[in-house]
Amino acid sequence: MGSNAKRPSLEPIFSSKYIETAVELRFSDLPPFGVVAPPEAAARFGNSLCCARNIALSTDLDELTESLIAQPKTLPWGSAQSSTQSRSRKKLIWLDEGSREQAAQLMTNGPNAAPRQKLHEELVANGSGGVRGSSLCSLGLANELRQCFEVDDVPLAFQPNYAHADFPLHYDLPGADGFGRSIVTLNVKAKATILIEESLDHPQCRWRFELQPGDAWAMRGYARTRCAHGVSVMGIAVPTPCTAGCRACRVSLNLRCGAHDEGEVAEIERDWLASPEGAERM
């Protein structure tokens, strides 16, 4: 299944059995907040998977929450084929203008691609920054989040996500809408449980950890290229699409950093296609 393939609809989109059987992860209290337990998880993940609790930022979380809630929302987040995922939304905030054209092209590819017309409407409506009122989602905030987890990759874009339902286990295609060598996510509003599956190397191993507003987590290396992840929004199931001013959704803010080159993309996708478990998550 290549970068332009459609991921099959998954209903229900997040199986409770995965959460129930997944083993809880523990993270270090010191930067970069990598996995420290259980021992086998710590040995394999190390600092490729990190989580920091209630991180200190110069940006006020309540102010950021209100700013993101107020935004108009047109881009779908998740599979348009799913009756539940299709109600969730995402936005884009460019941080690296030099990579903007390439990133926009990637966003229109892949199983959860943004429709070209919708992406164009978003950029026209919201101006060159990609979103109105995006001053809080600044390069300064991006650098604070990167520094928290000692991420060296250059910040390319913020992607605010508005979840109206769970997001299934999936792998972000690096040559498509899942671009980014490293991903840092700030949990802005509402609780969530993150599920990690070692799909390529230990497909029966699934791990979980919970997030509160103000927590942040990061993926790179092994966790980013060899594992699938999913999000349970802890019972949120909103029957209508997310719109400006919606307060029913879980809000998170992804920071996409660095880009894989074409050779790396080809190698990563080849590994996932060669694995039955991996192909199922693409």
What CATH number should be reported for the domain holding residue 101?
A: 2.60.120.1520
Q: Is residue 1 part of a domain?
A: no
What's the rounded Cα separation, in Å, for the pair 77 and 90?
5
Digitized pLDDT (tens) for each residue of the chain, 282 residues in all? 333 444 343 334 456 678 889 999 999 999 999 999 999 999 999 999 999 999 999 999 999 999 999 988 888 887 767 777 778 998 888 887 776 676 667 777 666 666 776 676 666 555 544 444 457 899 999 999 999 999 999 999 899 999 998 888 888 888 877 889 999 999 999 999 999 999 999 999 999 999 999 999 999 999 999 999 999 987 777 888 899 999 999 999 999 999 899 999 999 999 998 988 777 777
- The tokens describing 278, both together, are 């991996």
Q: Is residue 59 part of a domain?
A: no
Q: Structure pTM? A: 0.88
Q: Is residue 228 part of a domain?
A: yes
Q: Is residue 205 part of a domain?
A: yes
What's the rounded Cα separation, in Å, for the pair 198 and 96?
31
Q: Is residue 4 part of a domain?
A: no
Q: Is residue 69 part of a domain?
A: yes
**Domain count along the chain:** 1
Q: Is residue 98 part of a domain?
A: yes
Q: Is residue 11 part of a domain?
A: no
Q: Note down the domain range covering 78.
A: 16-54+64-281
